[in-house]
Amino acid sequence: MEDNIKLGDPVFNKMLFVLDKAVNEKNHRDYRFDNEELIQISDGIWAMPAYMKDDDDDFSLFFIITEIEDGHTVLAFSTGDKKDDQFSLSEPMITGEGLNQLVEHDKDRAASILHFINQISKADEGNWRMVE
């Protein structure tokens, strides 16, 4: 990731994290965050809570790992929406955009998630890319 782009900057909305390999049943536990684990919610789509509060904040954010049209596996985010007893996820958004939305709710949690993603990069299992 470029040094001059920081969490919370508008340009960070265009940062996408690309994994070097697909997530599957054998390796999904390698991407645990806190006490959460990826679960497969649809064929080739994995999700895991990133931010959820009980009562004081109705905003929730989920990691989404999936393959995109060009064949790359990406780490994106979706927000959660609860209506009555029904819960759904938004359309996935670019990694940086999701983190920037979280900054508005909990800067420390956003920084913690960014650190988690950067650890994946340092392990040489993915990297940041700027998208248009």
DSSP helix/strand/coil, 98: helix
Residues 35-64 pLDDT 10s:
999 999 999 999 999 998 766 678 899 999
- Domains in the chain: how many in total? 1
| Per-residue pLDDT at 1 | 47
Please check whether residue 51 is in contact with residue 102, taking contact to mean a CB–CB distance below 8 angstroms.
yes
What is the helix (H) or strand (E) element at residue 116, kind and residue range? helix 107-122
pLDDT at 2 > cutoff 60: no
4 found inside a domain: no
The whole domain housing 65 covers 10-130
26 found inside a domain: yes
3 found inside a domain: no
14 found inside a domain: yes
Residues 78-117 pLDDT 10s:
999 877 777 889 999 999 999 999 999 999 999 999 999 9
pLDDT at 33 > cutoff 80: yes
100 found inside a domain: yes
| Per-residue pLDDT at 3 | 58
81 found inside a domain: yes
